[in-house]
Amino acid sequence: MIQIDDSLLLELGLGALPAPRRKELLKAFYEELQLRVGTELSNRFDEEQLDEFGRLMEAGDDRAAIAFLEQHVPDRDEVVRREHARLRAAVDAATPRLLRAAGIADNPASAEPLPPDAPGAAELSGRAAVASPGRSAPLPSAGGPARQRQQRAPRSGASPRSRPAQAR
């Protein structure tokens, strides 16, 4: 299971950010990953499947939603890993800018240290293992089915949809 916690930020070289900024980044990372995975998976569903999955998510029936995904998207774990890797790469590329924006690039000694009990704090080299229970990614909701429908790109060869997204 993918962990989204301080150890991720350590691996990306962002462990020196102040605690409030780390928390913001972790939340943004989680939400973006959820959006990316949800969008990718929803693009594989036809309208009936998307509606069924939406009903399961809105009802909060996690078991049924997971069973639905296992049946209709057997490679969902690979989709999550792929989108996680892409997002990590994007954050990694932005690391110098994020550090400069926090005023850390010129003076890393002034940065707020991680608490000693934070996941991976002992491994500030950036090689922290994701071992502690942090926030895992129960994907995909991507803002719910309505948001997924609005963001869905038409599939090649698919017929144009005559109903607006709000009417579905």
Query: pLDDT per residue over 105-126, tens digit each?
Result: 644 444 455 455 554 444 333 3
Q: Does residue 117 lie in a domain region?
A: no
Q: Does residue 162 lie in a domain region?
A: no
Query: Distance between CA 10 and CA 115 in Å, rounded?
Result: 12
Q: Does residue 71 lie in a domain region?
A: yes
Higher pLDDT, 151 or 40: 40
Domain of 54, in residue numbers: 1-105
Query: pLDDT per residue over 19-73, tens digit each?
Result: 999 999 999 999 999 999 999 999 999 999 999 999 999 999 999 999 999 999 9
Whether the CB-CB separation of 87 and 32 falls below 8 Å is answered with: yes
What pLDDT was estimated at residue 90?
Answer: 95
Counting the structural domains of the chain, the total is: 1
Strand partners, 4: 135
> Which two tokens mark 52?
């069924």
Using a cut of 0.75, tell me whether the model's pTM lies above it: no
Q: List, in order, residues 6 or more apart from 81 with CB less than 8 Å away.
A: 2
Q: Does residue 152 lie in a domain region?
A: no
Element spanning 54, H or E:
helix 47-59
